[in-house]
Amino acid sequence: MQVSRQTIKNDRDIPIYVSIEPTPECYELEPGEKLTVIFQVPSDGDALEINFINERELVIWPGEQLDEPRVLINEASAERRSWKFKHR
């Protein structure tokens, strides 16, 4: 299965919050930080859906997942930067 790499950068001067569903993991991005999601691309349908909750929160829904997506912040592991938060 093909793998995709998508990066979101916080260009604001305040923190933003990014949730990745359905894992559910949430990450706080400080100004200037980049969050990268590496995931398997589904054979059909959208590879990634992004929903804006408000001006500081967004939710990412990677397509069909066989494995949990890999998440990086500024090209380093984001493992210790997350907490559990489920939107749906």
Q: What ranges in the chain are assigned the alpha helix state H?
A: none
CA gap 48, 56 in Å, rounded: 19
- Beta pairing class for 57-62 and 25-29: unpaired
Question: Residue 53: which domain range?
Answer: 3-78
Residue 86 inside a domain? The answer is no
Residue 85 inside a domain? The answer is no
Q: Find the mean pLDDT for residues 62-71.
A: 76
Residue 51 inside a domain? The answer is yes
Number of domains in the chain: 1
Q: What is the mean pLDDT of the chain?
A: 86
Q: Per the structure block, which two tokens stand in for 33? A: 């930080």
Which SS3 state, helix, strand or coil, does residue 79 take?
helix
Residue 87 inside a domain? The answer is no
Residue 33 inside a domain? The answer is yes
Residue of higher predicted confidence among 62 and 19 = 19
Residue 88 inside a domain? The answer is no
Backbone angles phi, psi at 3, to 5 degrees: -110, 140
**Sign of the alpha-carbon torsion through 6, 56, 50, 70:** positive
Residue 30 inside a domain? The answer is yes
Reported as a single tens digit per residue, the pLDDT across 4-45 is 899 999 999 999 999 988 877 899 999 999 999 998 887 777
How much is the pTM?
0.83
Q: Find the mean pLDDT for residues 63-69.
A: 71
Residue 88 has pLDDT above 60, yes or no: no
CB atoms within 10 A of CB 66: 8
Q: What is the pLDDT of residue 83?
A: 73
